Amino acid sequence: MKKFLLLISLLSFILVSCSSSINSYQNVSLVKKDSFIVLPFENNTETPLAGIRASKIAEGVLISHGFNINGKIYKQKEYKAEEIKELLEKVKKEGYRYAVLGDVNEWRYKTGIDGEPAVNITMRIIDLKTGKTVWSGVASKSGMGYSSIGTLAQDLLNEFAESIK
């Protein structure tokens, strides 16, 4: 029995150590009932539409955590930094309180035997009345061969949303 428990403990350790995550964010309080809009995340990867994919996951995660996400003002395409700034100016005039922005810096499957997924996302929330960043976070995660990029991204974005009370 002891050998069995030792084997189970060793396997658990191996499985946990195969996935790594690094997160940095601040815990803040925002009124989730205020109007938020998620803008497309800037794609700094070679993966087509990674920014749009991440922003759509962020939108769903924030809604599931009780945020009042309103409207959609963008199309399914790659957005450059200048275009995102133009969208930010547009939503300021439309009466939204907060804009959610971000960057995708890694969104790929690593090469090698298992092809593990790897994701790095930054996210920030801008108070549109003051123009100041009221929350920001950055997180990276790599998974095991059977994990998906979407699952890793959703995990990271859930941790972000949970840090906003």
Q: What is the pLDDT of residues 51-82, one digit of tens each?
A: 999 999 999 999 999 999 988 777 889 999 99
| Within a domain: 10 | no
150 backbone φψ class: left, alpha, beta (φ>0; ψ -120 to 50): alpha
Which range, 13-27, 46-60, 103-117, has the best average confidence (pLDDT)? Answer: 46-60
Q: What's the rounded Cα separation, in Å, for the pair 140 and 107?
A: 10
| Within a domain: 9 | no
Does 90 score more than 90 pLDDT? Answer: yes
Q: Which domain holds residue 41?
A: 20-162
| Within a domain: 4 | no
| Within a domain: 93 | yes
Average pLDDT over residues 12-29: 60
Total count of domains within the chain: 1
CATH number of residue 117's parent domain: 3.40.50.10610
What pLDDT, on a 0 to 100 scale, did the predictor assign at position 8?
A: 39
CB-side exposure of 127: number of CA atoms within 13 Å?
A: 9
What pLDDT, on a 0 to 100 scale, did the predictor assign at position 1?
A: 54
More confident residue, 57 or 1: 57
Give the DSSP H/E element, type plus range, for residue 81. Answer: helix 81-93
What pLDDT, on a 0 to 100 scale, did the predictor assign at position 11?
A: 37
Rg (CA), the chain: 18
More confident residue, 13 or 114: 114
Q: Pull the structure tokens for residue 46.
A: 């070679």
What pLDDT, on a 0 to 100 scale, did the predictor assign at position 71?
A: 80
- Among residues 43, 50, 133, the alpha carbon closest in space to that of 88 is found at 133
| Within a domain: 1 | no
Does 114 score more than 90 pLDDT? Answer: no
| Within a domain: 15 | no
Band of the pLDDT at 130, cuts 50, 70, 90?
A: very high
| Within a domain: 41 | yes
| Within a domain: 6 | no
What pLDDT, on a 0 to 100 scale, did the predictor assign at position 67?
A: 96
